[in-house]
Amino acid sequence: MKKFLVLLVVLSLYNCKNKPKNTTTTVKKVALAKGNLQLPNYEALSLLDKPLDEPKPGDWLSSHDENGQSFEQYFKNEKLVSPLQHKNTIYIQPIGTFTPWEKKIIDWNTQYIQLFFGLKTIQLKTISEKNIPKNKQRIHYGNEQLHAGYIVHSLLSKKMPNDGIVIMALTAKDLYPDPKWNFVFGLASYQKRTGVSSIFRYSNGDLDEKNYHYVCNVLLKLQHMRLVICFL
């Protein structure tokens, strides 16, 4: 079964450079219980580990003093949630308008998430940016931006279906978490089980057939990491 799921994930990544087809994928649901989780062999994995270099000017840690967190510390957090029998569906909430190329990325992202987590994943009907108050939007250096914090803490929490384990928004507009910040790629909350990602800064210009494959792969790799923040 594990080999089969790995094959499906590889096929999903390959399809980033191909036109999506109307296919239906059935994935066996996997329930993850904290008590049954077996930690990996860290001694063996350490051979692949590369220590972080000292922070350089411009790096996050060069201006933010943060304590490290081990996996054991993260795993002991009582506020983490796991898929349950009645809460086992991931929901993807598109926000705003999308070009045909951007819509393809959203569609493949939805399929990839289902394959990666082994949980039913549903893409909800796209909602308008008008759902976000004007005071939670801005023009910054010529870019239209949406307030990521409002989306995560206010908008999505009200749209969570009863069987949802997490709801993740996707938008083609730029995001900002705080008026003092220029932008943010995404934001998530494991307490709310909500998150948002933007594809705005991945394409370095308009998204088209030339950069579609690159943007699709970047989003797939980062999106599942952001979802991990929302639940375990």
Cα–Cα distance for residue pair 36/19, rounded to 1 Å: 39
Helix (H, G, I), strand (E, B) or coil at 122: strand
Residue 152 has pLDDT above 90, yes or no: yes
Of residues 30 and 64, the one with the higher pLDDT is 64
pLDDT, residue 10, reads: 46
Q: What is the mean pLDDT of the chain?
A: 78
pLDDT, residue 39, reads: 61
- Please tell me the pTM assigned to this model: 0.71
Cα–Cα distance for residue pair 129/144, rounded to 1 Å: 11
Give 215's pLDDT tier (boundaries 50, 70, 90).
confident
Percent of the chain exceeding pLDDT 90 equals 34
Q: Are 195 and 187 in contact (CB under 8 A)?
A: yes
Residue 222 has pLDDT above 90, yes or no: no
How large is the average pLDDT for residues 77-95?
A: 85
Give 62's pLDDT tier (boundaries 50, 70, 90).
confident
- CA distances (Å), 7 to each of 21, 73, 106, 154, in order? 18, 32, 21, 37
pLDDT, residue 38, reads: 58
pLDDT, residue 27, reads: 39
pLDDT, residue 60, reads: 79
